[in-house]
Amino acid sequence: VGALMMTQSRNVPWEDLELAVPAFLTIALMPFTYSITNGVGAGVIAYTVIKAARGKFKEIPWLLWIVSAIFIVYYAIGAVG
């Protein structure tokens, strides 16, 4: 899985930080946490937060808001428990 992801990482527009930061977090956190879920969750949350911080609320699909909220709860429960 990691090798396949790395071959596709060349297609990420690294000059666009709105996309590069979530992609980097996703790629970097998967091996460090030994969890695909944690990597994807960090990327989804980062994407939502960055877009919202830049005032691009309409570019964020409603389902992504829900998924981000679920991942935040997932991380909060993991931190407590």
As given in the structure block, the two tokens for residue 11 are 């297609």
As given in the structure block, the two tokens for residue 8 are 């596709």
Global model pTM greater than 0.85: yes
Q: At what angle do helices 36-53 and 62-80 cross, to 10 degrees?
A: 120
Give the per-residue pLDDT at 80: 83
Instruction: Give the integer Cα–Cα distance in Å for 59 and 23.
Output: 17
Of 3-12, 25-34, 37-46, 65-74, the one with minimum mean pLDDT is 3-12
- Residue 2: pLDDT band with limits 50, 70, 90: low
Residue showing tokens 């000059």: 15
Q: Where are the alpha helices (DSSP H) in the chain?
A: 2-8, 17-33, 36-53, 62-80
